[in-house]
């Protein structure tokens, strides 16, 4: 009965579509704040920048991690200024760029110059391991933070948050993590444990849901899968998380709006208890 009441409350908060029963009990939790919600730009990979802005407006989500799909890394300063005006006029706050892959020193230089021109204070990136020290030097030079993103068990660089943390824990404090909680679960780690374990370097989050704690798990609407969102949100509250919760929606990417609305509604409902 408690599960049913919880879902009815979520529906009243604007969850689109029917929500399947999750694999965990929807227990309420005490919290002191709601966390800001954004979108990872890859969610809109099939759409141009104008359509992306329009969709975000319909979903009432204002924060964006912009991806080079919509604003290429080699964009001229003039092209970047045009895009920035579109975002400002559309009420969208571009708070970071990424995920940016850095496979050479030139790519690291380009990423930081790009971030500077876009006007953000953080890059969500994936530098090759042999470039970590060089990337740290750029962080010190520019005062732009670097949040390194994990990509799951098939990734040879950073499968889980621990693979990042162990390499950067003694670096400048402006080098940290963007934990992707779906990939984290697929790598065999509970997201609520990861955010607690690496709280001192947690800068950003990509939030999603997956079908199981398994390498071959599939993405689906948030709230339908294996991630225990009440436990995850409670962990964020306990560590006094100050960053963004950016939804990365990767299902039905040619027609994602209904699933995105369901996911946004679910996350907001959980945050509101």
Residue 31: predicted pLDDT: 52
Question: Two tokens at 19?
Answer: 């929500």
Residue 31 covered by a domain = no
CA 43 remoteness from chain centre = 10
Residue 105, pLDDT above cutoff 90 = yes
139 within domain boundaries: yes
The better pLDDT of the pair 148, 30 is held by 148
Q: In a 10 Å sphere around its CB, with 0-12 CB exposed, 13-18 middle and 19+ buried, how is residue 134 labelled?
A: middle
Position 30 scores a pLDDT of: 55
> pTM for the full model?
0.89
Q: Given a cut of 90, is residue 24 above it in pLDDT? A: no
Q: Classify residue 22: in a domain, yes or no.
A: no
In terms of residue numbers, what domain contains 148? 2-17+36-271
Local structure of 14: helix, strand or coil: coil
What's the number of domains the chain is made of?
1
Asked if residue 26 is part of any domain, the answer here is no
Q: What is the pLDDT of residues 63-86, one digit of tens each?
A: 999 999 999 999 999 999 999 999
Output the domain CATH number for residue 133.
3.20.20.150
**23 assigned to some structural domain:** no
Whether residue 14 is predicted with pLDDT greater than 70 in this model: the reply is no
28-32 own/partner pairs: CB under 8 Å, 24+ apart? 28/230, 28/273, 29/230, 29/233, 29/234, 29/237, 29/273, 30/237, 31/233, 31/234, 31/237, 31/271, 31/273, 32/237
Domain-embedded: residue 24: no
Residue 119 lies in a domain: yes
Share of the chain above pLDDT 90, in %: 87
* 258-267 per-position pLDDT tens digit: 999 999 999 9
Average pLDDT of 91-118?
98
| Residue 235 counted as domain residue | yes
């Amino acid at each position: 009965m408690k599960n049913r009441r919880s879902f009815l409350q979520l529906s009243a908060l604007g969850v689109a579509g029917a929500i399947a029963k999750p694999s965990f009990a929807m227990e309420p939790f005490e919290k002191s704040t709601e966390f800001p919600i954004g979108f990872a730009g890859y969610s809109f990979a099939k759409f141009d920048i104008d359509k992306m802005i329009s969709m975000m407006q319909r979903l009432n989500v204002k924060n964006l991690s912009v991806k080079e799909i919509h604003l290429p890394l080699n964009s001229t300063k003039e092209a970047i200024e045009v895009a920035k005006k579109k975002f400002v006029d559309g009420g969208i706050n571009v708070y970071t760029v990424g995920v940016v892959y850095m496979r050479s020193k030139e790519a690291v230089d380009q990423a930081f110059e790009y971030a500077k021109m876009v006007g953000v204070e953080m890059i969500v990136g994936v530098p090759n391991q042999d470039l970590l020290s060089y990337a740290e030097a750029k962080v010190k030079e520019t005062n732009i933070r670097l949040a390194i993103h994990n990509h799951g068990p098939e990734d040879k660089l950073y499968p889980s948050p621990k693979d990042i943390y162990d390499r950067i824990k003694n670096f400048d404090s402006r080098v940290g993590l963007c934990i992707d909680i779906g990939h984290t679960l697929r790598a065999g780690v509970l997201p609520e444990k990861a955010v607690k374990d690496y709280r001192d370097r947690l800068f950003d989050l990509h939030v999603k849901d997956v079908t199981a704690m398994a390498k071959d798990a599939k993405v689906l609407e948030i709230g339908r899968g294996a991630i225990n969102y009440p436990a995850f949100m409670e962990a964020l509250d306990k560590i006094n998380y100050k960053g963004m919760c950016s939804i990365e929606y990767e299902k039905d990417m040619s027609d994602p709006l209904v699933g995105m609305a369901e996911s946004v509604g679910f996350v907001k409902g959980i945050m509101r208890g």
